[in-house]
Amino acid sequence: MKKFNEFGDKIIDLSQFINEEMPVSVGGLKIRLDFLKTMEKDKRNVEVLTLCTHTGTHIDAPYHFIQDGMTIDKIPIVWLMSRGILIRCPKNPGEKIVIDDIAEHLDSITAGDFILFDTNFERFLPKDEETYLVKYPHLDIEVARTLIKNGVRAICVNTPSVDKYGDAESPVHHLLLKRNILIIENLSNLNKLSEGREIIIIALPLKLHNTGGAPARVIAIEK
């Protein structure tokens, strides 16, 4: 049997590193990593990790904004892997992802696709966390409505949120999640994906019971 990468497939990790220095949302819980056991005292290393369920690369389940919505552990596993459509739309602070950014891709988007928005906003990390956390580009509501019509399974961004910073109404979250469309935020390495190749996305969240989201390891497989 051939090894996986002998078929010419390329695997890209789209997940942020989790560490105590990583940016978290303004007013959010800072990450803590403590030792419960150490090699010196216990002949083994065991760590305790404290973090928010929406830290780093994570998946929003409907329950995040919909009280009777599906929790992260109830998401069917077949929803967590699908074809990815890469949309390169570099943005400056405060800009939006608009219809013009997706127009040329609409004919190729089919039901069940993961839409990957590469805004190039990772360029502000790690030196300018405030810009990344506060002035990130967000989705125009018409983009969300259009992608809903195309039957997409997930909308994925390399920014902290699909909604504008400070908008307590979070209209894009509500619009997507009440239709069971997943949201994946804080992706990394989208700039390493190749245009023109078929992409398969696998996004596996921690199987946390009854939560509205969870950190996830997200990978892309280029065929």
Answer yes or no: CATH 3.50.30.50 is held by domain 4-18+54-222. yes
pLDDT tens sequence across 35-61: 999 999 999 999 999 999 999 999 999
Q: Give the DSSP H or E segment for 139.
A: strand 138-139
pLDDT at 1 over 60: no
Instruction: Considering only residues 8 and 181, tell me which one the structure prediction assigns the higher pLDDT.
Output: 181
Q: 0.85 cut: is pTM over it?
A: yes
Amino acid 28: pLDDT: 82
Identify the CA nearest to 159 among candidates 118, 220, 104.
118
Identify the CA nearest to 192 among candidates 11, 67, 61.
11
For the CA atoms of 14, 20, 21, 27, what is the dihedral angle to 10 degrees? Answer: 100
The most distant pair of C-alpha atoms in the chain lies apart, rounded to whole Å, by 61
pLDDT at 27 over 80: no
Average confidence (pLDDT) over 164-183: 97
Confidence band, pLDDT 50/70/90 cuts, at residue 8: low
- Fill in the DSSP letter of residue 144: H
Q: What is the mean pLDDT of the chain?
A: 95
Please tell me the distance from the alpha carbon of residue 166 to that of residue 1, in angstroms, as a whole number. 52
pLDDT tens sequence across 124-156: 999 999 999 999 999 999 999 999 999 999 999
Average confidence (pLDDT) over 179-197: 95
How many CA atoms does the CB half-sphere of 144 hold within 13 Å? Answer: 23
pLDDT at 3 over 80: no
- With 0-12 CB in 10 A as exposed, 13-18 as middle and 19+ as buried, what is 174? middle
pLDDT at 196 over 90: no
Please tell me the distance from the alpha carbon of residue 176 to that of residue 151, in angstroms, as a whole number. 11
DSSP H helical segments within 35-158, as ranges? 39-42, 99-102, 129-134, 141-149
